[in-house]
Chains A and B, each alone.
Chain A
Amino acid sequence: GESVGLHLPTLSVQEGDNSIINCAYSNSASDYFIWYKQESGKGPQFIIDIRSNMDKRQGQRVTVLLNKTVKHLSLQIAATQPGDSAVYFCAEIWGNTPLVFGKGTRLSVIA
């Protein structure tokens, strides 16, 4: 089975609201976690990453939170915009293993 999964397959938010996308992982040995955004007709693109020795990392309008105790990762998007509509994947890295991706969450922004 997969070790990375997402709690919700779809998420609808009002434009301007904050979005929270969740991810659960099972491998406590993972070193890095990455969030990818995939827009329709495009390949996944890197958004933000976090090392396993960190709890929080902020980017431009995005924040990733890591809770190693419960093996949970979340992506927070502030002031969600229509351009944020996409599928979001979390991925984890450990050792020499290629990225392991979750199923993805589709974020729909309601104007």
Chain B
Amino acid sequence: ETGVTQTPRHLVMGMTNKKSLKCEQHLGHNAMYWYKQSAKKPLELMFVYNFKEQTENNSVPSRFSPECPNSSHLFLHLHTLQPEDSALYLCASSQGVSGRDTEAFFGQGTRLTVV
């Protein structure tokens, strides 16, 4: 148990569906992240939030829409996805975004399949 909880663990959705991924951290951290992990690819950073403010959007398509209502919760809203968006979506949190504070603690991930 890392203190970062993601739901659901598995999700199958059609290309016209709208769904949301949820992440909650119980570590008192200030920064939260969404990463995408595809087969045979490095972990790809998608979004960074620090104190609820988005500080980085790594050229992510608009069909992925993040929301961070507070420092403990992070959502990823999904709309009109493509089959190539199927991947493991990992949420992480860290104490901060500078130096050693950037050490990330990951959730278990949501395995997303787009059909």
Contacts and interface: CB of A to CB of B under 8 A. Distances in A.
Task: Decide if A and B are genuine partners.
Answer: yes
Interface of A: 2, 31-32, 34, 36, 41-46, 49, 51, 89, 91, 93, 95-99, 101-104
A45 B106 contact: yes
Contacts of B105: 46
Contacts, number: 62
Closest 7 CB pairs of A and B: A43-B106, A101-B43, A93-B102, A44-B106, A103-B42, A96-B98, A43-B109
Contact of A93 (B2, B40, B48, B99): B99
A15 to B, nearest CB: 26
Per DSSP, chain A at the interface is loop
Contacts of A44: 43, 90, 104, 106
22 contacts: A2-B42, A31-B99, A32-B102, A43-B4, A43-B6, A43-B108, A44-B43, A44-B104, A44-B106, A45-B2, A45-B106, A89-B42, A93-B99, A93-B102, A93-B103, A96-B99, A98-B33, A98-B56, A98-B97, A99-B102, A102-B42, A104-B42
